[in-house]
Structure 1
Amino acid sequence: MINKTETNTTETNTTETNITEIIKTEQKENNAVHLLPWVTAVAMFIQSLDGTILNTSLPSIARDMAYSPTQMHSVIVTYTLTLAMFIPLSGWLADKFGTRTMFMIAVGLFVTGSLFCALSVDLTTFNLARVVQAIGASMMVPVARLAILYQYPKKELLKTMNFITVFGLLGMVVGPSLGGFLSDNFSWHWIFLVNVPIGFIGISMAYRIMPNFKHAVGRFDFRGLIYFSLALIFITMVLELIGRGRMHIMLIMGLLFLSGLLSVFYFIHYKRTEKPIIDLRLLNIRTLKIGLTGSLITRLGIGGLPLLLPLMLQTSFGYSASVSGLLLLPSALANVAIKPFMVRIIKFMGYRNVLISNTIMLGVILIILGFVEKDTPLGYYIVLMVFYGIFTSIQMSAMNTITLSDLDQNTASGGNTMLVIMQQLSVSFGVSVASLVLSLFQSGIFEMNTKHAFQYTFITLAVFTIFSSITFSRLSKTDGEEYTD
């Protein structure tokens, strides 16, 4: 017969062992979670790298596939339109199936699409591969950032977002140079193959580190997705046409009409749906609404500078493409260099003061660029680009963080998706508005010479930028304080 005391002792020891194992497991998971920003940083890096590495390699791809460079532009349009279609899905899928699950699937699709791009033999297979790649990209960063929102308290969010953004900026800095180097010294295939090992690193890290956050979701809003995504696609097509200088008025008006009509359909549908794919009721959150509106207007002004400055230096002042491209590098480096000081700057000044003063300073820089001459020293441009990079870095971090400041566990997914959609559209908006304004001054109703057309375009964009400070003035002095406590 077994002694009862011995049995109790054995059970007690077993219980203590189980508790010890549970504690060790929880400690291990908590330690791993501190590495979560690195997972998001990998996603930011490969997405921003992919967004810039292709442009410098398109001529090489065109020659290899026996197409003209203009025909190759379809791969960029295909990618952009696919993003517009699938970004609204990211929040719902992450909440339904879990952040870790969807992030790993997203990176897997992105890596698969990259591999298929490298194996493409003609424009059709290339475009299909870009669709697969874009589906992964549409969810990769939004899902990773959503995990950050769910995991970290607000007081740590600004520092965490700054860390992540640095890697996105590094991807933008490295992309054009790396794309040219790989295409010239190896082959264009390597600009896609480089994503494969980085992607597998991201998947491996996510499996071990990322929590699989899930939240209750309603029935999938398929009709809402169709209305909203098609509206986004049509407006994106308009922006692509304007950005490329193709002013087919009837086509643009037709696409705008369809986009507007579908937007009305979505608004009616959202009013009747308990859990729509994009919940417009979130715009009642004051900081989210101000952040989204101010970000869009600000990007209308500053988003066109990477296009306009190299173009002005080459067509109006006679600089080479390499020199005019390198003049953007000080901006990118300054953008990264200021990140470690971001929290202290915003804590000292407050979000409201930072956003108002920054937009004005960015507008001033654009005005100064409107008065440069052919004999302006290169050092002058370098100094301007350094300050432009500093102010842009502060602006983007502050705008993104204040936009998400009042979201909670129930609204984080929807608010994050809205921010991603706005960011994606604003990139196209910035380039398209800059192209449109330049064409109006150059060959439209004003018919100015090239030099004056660029000058007045910079001044016009400066007005847009400074105007956004009015939007940020609606913030209270205490908004975002929990991020800097």
Structure 2
Amino acid sequence: MRAERLVPLIVACALFMEQLDSTVIATSLPAIAADLQEDPISLKLALTSYLLSLAVFIPASGWFADRFGSRTVFRAAIVIFTAGSLLCGLAHSLPDFVAFRILQGMGGAMMVPVGRLVILRTVPKEEIVSALAWLTIPALMGPVLGPPLGGFITTYFDWRYIFFINIPIGFIGVVLATRFIPDIREEDVPPFDMRGMGLSGIGLSGLVFGFALLGQHAVAPSIALAVIAAGAVAMGFYVRHARHTERAILDLDLLKIPTFFAGVIGASLFRIGIGALPFLLPLMLQLGFGLTPFASGMITFASAAGAMTMKFTAAPIIRTFGFRRVLVVNCVIASGFIAIGALFRPDMPYLVLVGALLLGGFFRSLQFTSTNALSYADVSNEAMSRATSFASVAQQVSISTGVAVAALVLDGMRSWRGDGTLHLDDFSVAFIVVSLIAVCSVFFFVRLPADAGAELAQRRTKPAAPAETPNEMGSAA
């Protein structure tokens, strides 16, 4: 029993390391840009390259875990992530920095999805909401500590140390994983879908990286559009491939499950809005308000603090109101708190800013917990590894798209004005744009049945017809 209790904590520690790294770098982007002699908006490549690497390599995580065992893959992923962190701290140019962030992403692509898969395969469905909520409490310490820690290190020391702190955490993670993570694997593993991996990798990277290149003055817009077009064509070929391939690396049959479709595809629009915040908020506070990285971090940590508060109330809220009502109402509220960023001004009391971020973090985290749990409500245990891979890919693509959209709006505003500098009003427009994208996800949630996810919410409802699973629907052929 002791080992079973430690597994969620070990997985949470891996998530803590990943979240700490992403939130620390967001606060330090202006300082990193200055040190590498790059435009601050160009540093979006450091964020999108990492998220892009996650999206490209996550599809293989489920297959590798089934084939080689969850403990082996989880442990190797921590090593790769830690090595990438070390190299990022040693980088001296933007291309090197981006390359090492991609290496980090390769490790993160295996680390967190495989850890989540272990939890989903060992926890009863009626306990998944609570398990996922409690699982992320230690991991949420990353976003809480990230902004102030990154700001403190950047202001008083050197930004490179924000990557070196992952090294001892990674070492401890390897030791704990070796001792306590069960080596879960499948007996009958199908051949690896190499063609699907290639097509999806080219398609996803082309789409996401192409959008990130838009606004890069070093690259002509025609090149960025060509990259996007190549990605779209590759994804078209992948869809054709998946329809005629059994056990494709991204199982499109999962989208026939209504709860999975809403929890993954619908929520992607919401995550586009959320993905822009770690990029927009620190830049606005430092470039628009003139705050130091440390002062900026002390304000932005409020979002994660609000998210932590929600983790204690998610299960009761969903149990009382049900998934559909929570997702619809909360989507509008959370999107409204994104738009509030457009009203932030340097002369506003910091208590008001912190309060708005605290409440916004609460509602955003409730939306994440609800969609993450609902996604697996009607997925069979046999299809769980493919479902976690698919959901993780969608999540990373949408977050990286959010960064690209926000950067594109900022660059478009300063180009339209023609003075080449960022103004506070530019950030206001960006906050409004991403909030409008986020609220559009409500149209996916209103289509859910009233008793969607009733088993997970532990609500008393009439027995529903058994949900179709990928097995019951047959192969994609």
The bucket for the TM-score relative to the shorter chain is 0.7 to 0.9
Quick check: 1:301–1:464 contact (8 Å CA) kept in 2?
Answer: yes
In 1, Cα distance between equivalents of 2:95 and 2:339: 44
Matched, 1:270 2:239: no
Q: Which residue of 2 aligns with 1:396?
A: 368
Shift of the alpha carbon at 1:321?
5.6
Determine whether 1:299 maps to 2:268.
Answer: no
TM-superposition CA deviations, 1:10-29 (whole Å, max 9, x none): xxxxxxxxxxxxxxxxxxxx
Asked if structure 2 preserves the Cα contact closer than 8 Å seen for 1:350 and 1:478, the reply is yes
Alignment map for 1:304-343 (pairs within 5 Å): 304-312=276-284, 322-343=294-315
SS at match of 1:384: helix
Partner of residue 474, structure 1: 447
TM-score (norm 1): 0.83
User: Which residue number corresponds to residue 69 of structure 2?
Assistant: 98
Q: What is the alpha-carbon distance in structure 1 between the residues aligned to residue 185 and residue 453 of structure 2?
A: 26
Quick one: distance in 2 between partners of 1:391 and 1:41?
A: 21
1:68 to 37, 40, 63: 37
> Which shows bigger deviation, 208-217 or 432-441?
432-441
Report deviation, 1:186. 5.7
> Paired residue for 2:141?
170
Check conservation: 1:239, 1:428, Cα contact below 8 A.
no
Q: How far did residue 141 of structure 1 move? A: 0.2
Task: Tell me which moved more, 323-332 or 343-352.
Answer: 323-332
Q: Report the CA distance between 1:226 and its aligned residue.
A: 0.6
Q: Which moved more, 1:407-416 or 1:48-57?
A: 48-57
Alignment partner of 1:352 is 2:324: yes
For the residues of structure 1 that align with 2:433 and 2:97, how far apart are their CA atoms?
38
The one-letter amino acid paired with 1:106 is A
From 244, 251, 274, give the equivalent of 2:223. Answer: 251
1:219 aligns with 2:170: no
Larger Rg: 1
Provide closer, same or farther for how the CA distance between residues 197 and 376 of structure 1 changes in structure 2, counting only shifts above 3 A: closer
* C-alpha spacing 1:356/1:432, structure 2 compared with 1 (3 Å): same
After TM superposition, give the deviation of residue 279 of structure 1 in Å. 1.3
In 2: Cα distance, 1:375 partner to 1:101 partner: 53
Query: Between Structure 1 and Structure 2, how many residues are aligned?
Result: 453
2:389 maps to which of 417, 429, 432: 417
**2:54 is matched by which residue type in structure 1?**
L
Aligned 8 A contact 1:90 1:142 in 2: yes
**Residue 114 (str. 1) matches residue 85 (str. 2):** yes
Q: Say whether the 8 Å CA contact 2:55–2:392 is kept in structure 1.
A: no
Contact 1:405–1:480, Cα closer than 8 Å, also in 2: yes
Name the CA shift for 1:167/1:225 in 2 (closer, same or farther; >3 Å): same
State the distance in 1 between where 2:284 and 2:87 align. Answer: 37
Offset from partner CA, 1:365-389 (integer Å, 9 cap, x none):
3444445566443333222212111
For 2:466, the equivalent position in structure 1 comes to none
- The answer to whether residue 181 in structure 2 is matched with residue 202 in structure 1 is no
Report how far residue 213 of structure 1 moved. Answer: 1.5
Q: Please report the TM-score for the alignment, with normalisation by the length of structure 2.
A: 0.84
Q: Summarize the Cα distance change of 1:69–1:318 in structure 2 as closer, same or farther, 3 Å threshold.
A: closer
Partner of 1:21 in structure 2?
none
Q: Which residue of 2 aligns with 1:426?
A: 398
Show the counterpart of 2:456: 483
Alignment of 1:19-38 (within 5 A): 30-38=1-9
What secondary structure sits across from 2:312 in the alignment? helix
Cα deviation for residue 309 of structure 1 reads 4.1
Other structure's SS at 2:116 match: helix
Between the aligned partners of 1:41 and 1:149, the Cα distance in structure 2 is: 14
Name stretches of at least 5 consecutive residues in structure 2 with no aligned partner: 459-477
Provide the rounded CA distance (Å) in 2 between the counterparts of 1:291 and 1:135: 25
- Checking the alignment, whether the CA contact within 8 Å between 1:243 and 1:432 is kept in structure 2 is no
Matched position secondary structure for 1:407: coil
Q: The residue matched to 1:35 in structure 2 has which SS?
A: helix
Tell me, in whole angstroms, the C-alpha distance in 2 between the residues paired with 1:31 and 1:317: 49
CA distance in 2, matches of 1:315, 1:127: 23
Alpha-carbon shift at residue 130 of structure 1 (Å): 4.3
**Which amino acid counterpart does residue 263 of structure 2 have in structure 1?**
G
Give, in whole Å, the separation in 2 of the partners of 1:303 and 1:94: 28
Asked if structure 1 preserves the Cα contact closer than 8 Å seen for 2:286 and 2:292, the reply is: yes
SS in 2 for 1:34: helix
Pair 1:103–1:455, CA change in 2 (3 A): closer
In the alignment, structure 1 residue 361 sits paired with structure 2 residue 361: no
How large is the Cα RMSD of the aligned pairs?
Answer: 3.2
The 3-state SS of whatever aligns with 1:301 is helix
- Seen in structure 2, the aligned counterparts of structure 1 residues 108 and 439 have a Cα distance that, compared at 3 Å, is closer
Q: Which whole-Å CA distance do the structure 1 matches of 2:91 and 2:218 have between them?
A: 28
1:444-483 map, 5 Å? 444=416, 450=423, 453-483=426-456
